[in-house]
Chains A and B, each alone.
Chain A
Amino acid sequence: MLQFLVRRLIGAVVIMFLIGAFTFFLFYTVPQDFAQLSCGKNCSPENIAVIRENLGLDKPITTQFWEFMRGIVAGRDFAVGHCSAPCLGQSFDTGDFVWDSIMDRFPLTLSLTVGSLVIFLVIGLGSGMLAAWKRGTVVDKAVSGASMVLSSFQIYFLGPIVLGIFVYSTGWMDNPKYVPFLESPIDWAVALLIPWAVMATIFTAQYTRMSRSTMIEQLQEEHVRTARAKGMPQRYVFFRYAWRGSLAPIVTILGMDLSGLLAGGVVTEFTFDLAGIGRLAVDSSMSKDLPVTMGVMLFGAFFILLLNIVVDLAYAYIDPRVRLA
């Protein structure tokens, strides 16, 4: 296990380096004068030269790359001060350190992810299992029908409807916003309830369908039939044998969904006017703020790699047949 973990972590570092190098050279070699992009109304050649110097764009590209990579490990100095490791550079647009911007936005993204995750896992997996257990009954048909309808919804469709009803028309709730968890856990939950509910509705539908189908598959497996034939209690067979076996594909999809959510739920953030990682990515991309775009990209890549490793480890726990050698 340890050997596997070390090997995967080294691989992840190499992949991160390659992604960093690729995106850096891809972005920085495009024929675009970023100094001019950052130049306001008073855009004289002298001012462009000043901006170029301030942004470090007057240095050779290899020097810029070296400074960028070194900054990730050892930090960097900018005119506005020292950027501690892991330093992902300085925004062309705002002058803020990219890592600080990401860390400032991450709590919201994490809150959205965790809150919705709890809801959709509990309800999604629960209702899927229930439907599988009650296969062919009214309960199964109702759960399957509802999940079919809800899975066709999108956040940008459902979000404005929920806002329209609960915020704009009735005034029962305020517009969603981020309140730090440590400041007030209750306000934190209340302020994010609408986005959680909307995100969870869509994900719940998907996980209900997935969990139902994988459970039904598992319930038809030979080892489950054997367990039943041996006279094991139905509940024991269901949870100990079938449910555990059904988790592997769900964990795979969950890993992918989580990495996507942690890298930034763009649609959710824009629908509810929230400022998380997703909005940072889009805003930086729109304003051609390449250090920020690169930083967010690396941050997202980090979560994808991390969750891949976690998923692989989870496989070993869920299914003892899987060897991590």
Chain B
Amino acid sequence: MNPIRSRSARAIVIAAAAGSLALTGCSSNDSGKDAKDQSKSKQDAASQSKPVVYGDAGASTGPAAEVPGAKPGGTINIYTQSDLSHMDPGQIYVSDAGQFANLVHRKLTNYQEDDKGNLTVVGDIATDAGKSSNDGKTWTYTLKDGIKDEDGNAITSADVRHTIERQYSKVIFDGPSFVQTWLSGSDYRKALPDGPYKGKHLPDSVLSTPDAKTVVFNFDKPRPDLPQALSMAGYAIVPEKADTKEKYDKAPKSLGPYKIAEHKPGKSLKLVKNTNWDAKTDAVRHQYVDGYDFTTTIDQPSQTKRLIADQGEAKNAMQFTDSVDPAQTSTVIGDAAVNKRTIKGYQPYVWQMSFNLDRLKDKKVRDAITYAIPNQSMIQADGGKYGGELAGGLFAPTLPGFDATYDPFGKLKKPNGDPAKAKALLKEAGVAEGTKLTYAYSNTPRGQKQMVIIKDALAKIGFDVQAKEIDRATFYEQIGKIDNGFDLYMTGWGQDWASQSTVVTPVYDGTLVADGQPNYSHINDPQVNKLIEEALVLEPEAAAKKWEEAHKRIVEEINPAAPVYYSKQLQLFGSNIGGARYSTNSSYIDINRLYLIQP
């Protein structure tokens, strides 16, 4: 889930760039509070890094367990600083639209989260997480009874087939492509160029619907991650009869607990109850409030001010995917009454200094830069302890197999780097004093602050850093070019679901080096490529060892990107919002269980 690629996602990252040098102004009492907060985040991370369990029919049966004290009624006000990038589920691939999708759309599978944050993949409109056969190459789903769209039309296997097949058409270009690629290869569009719109379908040997309740996926390799892939908002159901192609992005039909009553692009969105959603069919979602009113023009500082003040309609309001304004973090944390209205936890993103391996060919040079980077200062420029945490590796705390002690570059002991070691490595590499390095950075406030830190740190070890500022809107376009002309740049990447495959494959698989692809370092190591190929067809627990091996090979033997920090989330909500908690699934406020204390 690279959050920066799409237009709206950029805003999310800017928002997530919770910076607060102001945190240094916290009182001494804050240290205890901080320790408690950090401890809770680590507990959540421990839950997130456990292998995901696939649930059976029992776990998939609704209704979801009642939230203690929940009451029905009222409307929750949502503050966001930009509109949703998409509402057509096929086009949804970023966090804000993903949160929205939880309220409006339904998928074959979904994540169920217990009180401790442990995740289970359960059936959403399917009776369970899926039944695999044929050595994991075939997955069969049976649909639950009573699933309807907002117009009351029953959902059948034909709708599921339609949902998958429309992803092959030109109508869809922004969503995930995991399932299509697994079914039909990387050139999947050629298998069904017009999608299902001209009456053609994928052959039964690929995707079949033997009856109105059954859907069968057939792959050429085992696809153990399918239940998790199908839980993505991008694979939420689009009823065949309701599909209006391009227009669907403006007015999708709901299967979830809420439906769209009014949308004013760039301004507001109003959700009301979907009366055709049946709680008995849903093991995850609730429908406590009558609706949600989104205002999509409130910037991060205003959101924070309004929610700190907690006056009038702000009592029923919450941040959606934005974070607390960095400049107001100390106010939020320092005021116990406000602090208790926050959720804190890890985001899935790892910020890393990507090296262009076509230009920085000597590993000793890359290691030297890695040692020289002052990780702690970089975090301070992006929100301090509530904005990020020092990274030892390239796997986020939200990934299975995360090891908090993994620290090959000794950053835990020397959080602001080891210039002496860096200099020694450069000497060994024969790098002359004053050697030029081109550092590309985005012209965001965070990018500009971090540029000064990097320039200063690398100058101390003898580099002459040429900083190249790039417009934030085109940053990833520029660095995504193979021949980009830069030596190093900060990039962020996060998982699509709790599997290392969604990190290692897109970012470090050498077979995917191309213009516009997220392999920003252009790493192409045969051993890593082989490990990826092997891990992709293994069950999660068996694959974990392969992923760990690949991770260590990448970080220690090749070093295409220096780990800098794991990003964190700090969100505020009004005093009348009940049931708010950090979701280990979404890494935001758990949108599925909210209610109003005084409706």
Cβ–Cβ < 8 Å partners of B7 in chain A: 37-38, 93, 287
Q: What CA separation (Å) do A198 and B269 show in the bound complex?
A: 28
Partner of B1, one of A41, A50, A274: A41
> B298 and A45: CB pair below 8 A?
no
Partner of B313, one of A54, A174, A288: A174
Q: A45-B515, A101-B265, A273-B302 are contacts. A39–B473 as well, Cβ < 8 Å?
A: no
> A80 and B297: CB pair below 8 A?
no
Q: What CA separation (Å) do A50 and B189 show in the bound complex?
A: 11
Contact with B along A273-288 (1 / 0, CB 8 A): 1110001100100111
Count of A interface residues, CB-CB < 8 Å: 47
Residue of A nearest to B297 (CB): A275
> At the interface, yes or no: A104 with Cβ under 8 Å from chain B?
yes
> A39 and B2: CB pair below 8 A?
no
> A37 and B474: CB pair below 8 A?
yes
Partner of B170, one of A39, A54, A105: A54
> B189 and A40: CB pair below 8 A?
no
Within 8 A of B (CB), among A205-246: none
Partner of B247, one of A38, A45, A80, A279: A80
Cβ–Cβ < 8 Å partners of B177 in chain A: 42, 44
Residue of B nearest to A36 (CB): B477
Q: What CA separation (Å) do A287 and B11 show in the bound complex?
A: 10
Stretch among B102-110, B304-312, B483-491 lining the A interface: B304-312
> A37 and B473: CB pair below 8 A?
yes
Within 8 A of A (CB), among B145-173: 170, 173
> At the interface, yes or no: B6 with Cβ under 8 Å from chain A?
yes
Cβ–Cβ < 8 Å partners of B516 in chain A: 36, 39, 43-45, 48
Q: What CA separation (Å) do A71 and B310 show in the bound complex?
A: 47
Q: A54-B173, A80-B247 are contacts. A40–B302 as well, Cβ < 8 Å?
A: no
Residue of A nearest to B311 (CB): A171
Q: What CA separation (Å) do A42 and B458 show in the bound complex?
A: 33
Contact with B along A91-121 (1 / 0, CB 8 A): 0011110000100110000000000000000
Residue of A nearest to B516 (CB): A43
> B311 and A168: CB pair below 8 A?
yes
Q: A33-B477, A168-B306, A286-B473 are contacts. A41–B170 as well, Cβ < 8 Å?
A: no
> At the interface, yes or no: A53 with Cβ under 8 Å from chain B?
yes
Q: What CA separation (Å) do A195 and B296 show in the bound complex?
A: 19
> At the interface, yes or no: A152 with Cβ under 8 Å from chain B?
no
Query: How many residue pairs between the two chains, A and B, have CB atoms under 8 Å in the bound complex?
Result: 129
Q: What CA separation (Å) do A105 and B516 show in the bound complex?
A: 35
Q: What CA separation (Å) do A80 and B244 show in the bound complex?
A: 9
> B306 and A40: CB pair below 8 A?
no
Q: What CA separation (Å) do A232 and B10 show in the bound complex?
A: 69
Residue of A nearest to B2 (CB): A41
Q: A43-B516, A45-B514 are contacts. A275–B266 as well, Cβ < 8 Å?
A: yes
* Nearest CB of chain B from residue A85's CB, rounded to whole Å: 20
Cβ–Cβ < 8 Å partners of B238 in chain A: none
Cβ–Cβ < 8 Å partners of A273 in chain B: 295, 297-299, 302
* Nearest CB of chain B from residue A5's CB, rounded to whole Å: 36
Cβ–Cβ < 8 Å partners of A288 in chain B: 471, 473-474
> At the interface, yes or no: B174 with Cβ under 8 Å from chain A?
yes
* Nearest CB of chain A from residue B504's CB, rounded to whole Å: 16
Cβ–Cβ < 8 Å partners of B419 in chain A: none
Cβ–Cβ < 8 Å partners of A274 in chain B: 297
Residue of A nearest to B303 (CB): A273
Cβ–Cβ < 8 Å partners of A25 in chain B: none
Cβ–Cβ < 8 Å partners of A33 in chain B: 477
Q: What CA separation (Å) do A16 and B308 show in the bound complex?
A: 47
Interface SS, B side: loop
> B250 and A95: CB pair below 8 A?
yes
Contact with B along A79-94 (1 / 0, CB 8 A): 1110000000000011
Cβ–Cβ < 8 Å partners of A104 in chain B: 264-267
> B473 and A50: CB pair below 8 A?
no
Q: What CA separation (Å) do A264 and B135 show in the bound complex?
A: 62
Q: What CA separation (Å) do A44 and B250 show in the bound complex?
A: 24
> At the interface, yes or no: A32 with Cβ under 8 Å from chain B?
yes
Cβ–Cβ < 8 Å partners of A44 in chain B: 177, 516-517
Cβ–Cβ < 8 Å partners of B517 in chain A: 43-44
Q: What CA separation (Å) do A127 and B113 show in the bound complex?
A: 65
> At the interface, yes or no: B175 with Cβ under 8 Å from chain A?
yes
> B250 and A80: CB pair below 8 A?
yes
Within 8 A of A (CB), among B74-121: 82-83, 85, 91, 93-94
> A32 and B474: CB pair below 8 A?
yes
* Nearest CB of chain A from residue B278's CB, rounded to whole Å: 32
Q: A36-B516, A43-B517, A174-B313 are contacts. A101–B474 as well, Cβ < 8 Å?
A: no
Cβ–Cβ < 8 Å partners of A294 in chain B: none
Cβ–Cβ < 8 Å partners of B85 in chain A: 40
Partner of B6, one of A32, A40, A167, A283: A40
Cβ–Cβ < 8 Å partners of A37 in chain B: 7, 473-474, 477
Q: What CA separation (Å) do A32 and B475 show in the bound complex?
A: 12
> At the interface, yes or no: B249 with Cβ under 8 Å from chain A?
yes
Q: What CA separation (Å) do A39 and B312 show in the bound complex?
A: 40
Cβ–Cβ < 8 Å partners of A93 in chain B: 7
Residue of B nearest to A33 (CB): B477
Known interface pairs A40-B85, A279-B297; 12 further A-B residue pairs with C-beta atoms within 8 A, sorted by A's residue number: A37-B477, A39-B6, A40-B173, A40-B174, A41-B1, A41-B93, A45-B516, A47-B174, A95-B246, A168-B306, A175-B312, A273-B299
Residues of B participating in the A interface, judged by any CB pair closer than 8 Å = 1-2, 5-7, 9-10, 82-83, 85, 91, 93-94, 170, 173-177, 187, 189, 245-247, 249-250, 264-268, 295-299, 302, 305-306, 308-309, 311-314, 471, 473-474, 477, 480, 514-518
Closest 8 CB pairs of A and B: A168-B309, A171-B311, A40-B6, A40-B174, A41-B5, A275-B267, A275-B297, A79-B246
12 contacts between A and B (CB under 8 A): A33-B477, A40-B175, A41-B9, A42-B173, A46-B187, A50-B173, A95-B250, A104-B265, A104-B266, A105-B266, A169-B309, A273-B295
